[in-house]
Amino acid sequence: MSDELLYLSATELLDAYGRKRVSPVEVVDAALARIEKLQPTVNAFVTVCEDDARKAARDAEAALSNGEGTGALVGVPCSVKDLVPTRGVRTTFGSAVFGDNVPDRDAVAVGRLKGAGGILLGKTTTPALGHKGITTSLVSGVSRNPWNLERTCGGSSGGAAAAVASGQGPLALGTDGGGSVRIPASACGIVGLKPTLGRVPQDSAPDLFGTLSFIGPMTRTVADAALMLSVMAGPDASDPWSRGQPALPDPSLPETLPLPGNIKAAWFPLLGNSVIDSGVKSVVEGAVRSLSGLGLDIEPEEDMLEAGDAMWRAIGYSAQYARMASHLEATPDLIDPSLKTNMEEGMRVGGLDLQNGLFARGDIYRAIERVFGSFDLMITPTLAAPPPAADFDAHRDIEIEGVRAGKLRAAWYAYTHPFNMSGHPAITLPCGWTDDGLPVGMQLIAPWYREDLLLRVAAAFERACPWAGKRPDV
C-alpha cells in the first residue's frame, strides 16, 4: 500500500476522483487496512464501520462513474469522535456505562458530512465524557501519539488526532470543551479548528445555552479544515447559538486569496499560565517571525487573563457530576477513576461557586474583546510543553522546565480553554518539532465569526512553512 495514497488530503482525493486516477473503493480499502495495522499500537478507534464503509465507497464510486457524485465530500473517508451520536453505530461517549448505546439519529454535523458524501470509517477514542486532556478509558484503553508511542496523543479528541496524523483517514470530526480539538491536534502535528460558538450546531450538549462544547474539523491541511467547516456550518433549530449567524464565506478563500493588508496581531507567550517549555517557546517564536515576514504587524503583549482552572472546574466538574450521579450509585465500577475524582469535586460545588464561575466566564469574554478592540488576531502557543506520557494521570501536576507547574488545564493547555469560555474561533497549526521529534502547535484566535480571517492567515502560513509532508514513522 502506498503511503502517498494514505496521506492524500481530502481536496487532493476529490481532484484525483475527478481525474479518475484513484477510486473511493481503493481509498477506503487502504484506510481500513491502515486502521487494522495501527490499532494495536496507536489505538485510535473504538469502533470501525468496515462493512458500511465499503458499501458507501462502492456507492460513491458508482455515483462518480455516472456523473452523479456532486457532494462536496463524495467518496472521502472521515471519522467521528465517540462523543458524537451516529445513527446505528455504537456511541459510548468514552464510558463503559454507555458501552452498548446505539443512537437512532446522527448529530447534525455528522448528518451534514454524510449528506455531502463523506464515508464514515468509524468512531475514534476519547476519555469518558471527554473529561480530560489524555485519551485513556475503560472502554478503549490507552491511545498513543504516532510521533512517539510512549507519549499521549492528547485529548479529549485524541483518537481523532492520532488517526489523521497517521494516515487513518484525512478528515476527523472532534469536539472541544476546553481545548479538546486543539490539544490533540497540536500534540499530533495536525490542524484543529474550534469554530465560533454556534457556527457548527452542537445539538448533543446537555446545556444548550451554557455549553462549553464545540464541534470542529481535524485535518492535515488548512484547505481540508475549510472544506469540512463549510459542510458542517450553518444554523439548525437544535442549537439556539447557531441561529442568526452570518454566512460562512466560500471555503476556497484560504487557498485563492492573498492576505488582507494591515493585519494587527497580539502575541501572548503566556495566557493564564506562568511557565512554558523553552523548546516550545523557541519553535513558536520562530513561527511568529514567519508570520511577521508575511506582513502581519505583530506586537508582544503581557498576559491579561487570570488563571482560569478553578473557574472551569466549578462549571465543568459540577456538570459531570450532575450528568453521571445516578450511574455513580448504580454502576460505580463502570466509571473511570479520573472521572470519579472530578465528580467528587463537582458534588461539592455550591451555588455561590458555580455562579462565580459563570461570572468569571463573562469576564474572560470581556477581556478578550478588549484585545480585539486594538488587534485583528491573537497568537499563542497551543500547549506549554510537549505531550506527557500516554498514561499520564490527569490529576497529577505536570513538570515544565524542571518545575511542578500545576495540573494539565492550568499549566499545559491554559491557552485553549479561555476561548471555550468566550466563544471565539481558534485554530492550531503545526509550526515545528522539538529536538526529539514531537510536534509543536501555534494557536491563532479571531473575533466571533471571523473563521475566514483565521483560515486565510493559516493558509498563508502553511504555504510559507509547509508541514503536511512530514509524517510519523509508525
pLDDT for the residue 254: 67
Judge whether 156 counts as a catalytic residue: yes
List pLDDT tens digits, range 333-350: 999 999 999 999 999 999
Closest by CA position to 213, among listed 233, 228, 198:
198
Go through 236-270 and write b for each residue having 16 or more CB atoms within 10 A of its CB, e for each that does not.
Answer: beebebbeebeebbebebbbeeebeeebebbbbbb
- Look over the chain and give the mean of its residue pLDDT values, rounded to a whole number: 96
pLDDT for the residue 3: 84
pLDDT for the residue 406: 95
Judge whether 292 counts as a catalytic residue: no
The rounded distance, in Å, linking the Cα atoms of 460 and 300 is: 21
Give the predicted TM-score (pTM) of the model. 0.98
Q: Would you kindly state where each structural domain of the chain is located, as residue ranges?
A: 3-464
Q: Given a cut of 80, is residue 256 above it in pLDDT?
A: no
Confidence of residue 316 (pLDDT cuts 50, 70, 90): very high
Name the active-site residue from 79, 81, 318, 338.
Answer: 81
Q: Given a cut of 90, is residue 259 above it in pLDDT?
A: no
The rounded distance, in Å, linking the Cα atoms of 315 and 81 is: 23
Rounded to 5°, angle at Cα 430 from 291 and 234: 90
* DSSP 8-state code for residue 130: G
Residue that is written with C-alpha cell 491502515 in the block: 34
* DSSP 8-state code for residue 46: E
Q: Given a cut of 70, is residue 443 above it in pLDDT?
A: yes
In 103-167 the beta strands, taken as DSSP E runs, fall at 119-124, 136-137, 141-142, 144-145, 148-152
Closest by CA position to 117, among listed 81, 149, 86, 72:
72
pLDDT for the residue 183: 99
CATH class of 3-464: alpha beta
Confidence of residue 255 (pLDDT cuts 50, 70, 90): low
pLDDT for the residue 446: 98
pLDDT for the residue 221: 97
Name the active-site residue from 180, 204, 242, 422.
Answer: 180
Residue that is written with C-alpha cell 499521549 in the block: 152
pLDDT for the residue 251: 64
Q: Is 261 helix (H, G, I), strand (E, B) or coil?
A: coil
Judge whether 407 counts as a catalytic residue: no
The rounded distance, in Å, linking the Cα atoms of 410 and 225 is: 28
Phi, psi of 33 (to 5 degrees): -65, -40
Length of the chain: 474
The rounded distance, in Å, linking the Cα atoms of 225 and 193 is: 7
List pLDDT tens digits, range 26-85: 999 999 999 999 999 999 999 999 999 999 999 999 999 998 888 999 999 999 999 999
From residue 413, alpha-carbon distances to 21, 43, 167, 417, 462 in Å are: 42, 23, 26, 7, 23
The rounded distance, in Å, linking the Cα atoms of 208 and 423 is: 13
Confidence of residue 150 (pLDDT cuts 50, 70, 90): very high
* Percentage of the chain modeled with pLDDT above 90: 94
List pLDDT tens digits, range 186-226: 999 999 999 999 999 999 999 999 999 999 999 999 999 99
Least confident of 250-259, 378-387, 456-465: 250-259
List pLDDT tens digits, range 110-125: 999 999 999 999 999 9
CB 295 within 8 A of CB 326: no
Confidence of residue 252 (pLDDT cuts 50, 70, 90): low
pLDDT for the residue 249: 80
pLDDT for the residue 70: 84
Closest by CA position to 181, among listed 130, 253, 245:
130
CB 418 within 8 A of CB 309: no
Confidence of residue 257 (pLDDT cuts 50, 70, 90): low
CB atoms within 10 A of CB 458: 24
pLDDT for the residue 202: 97
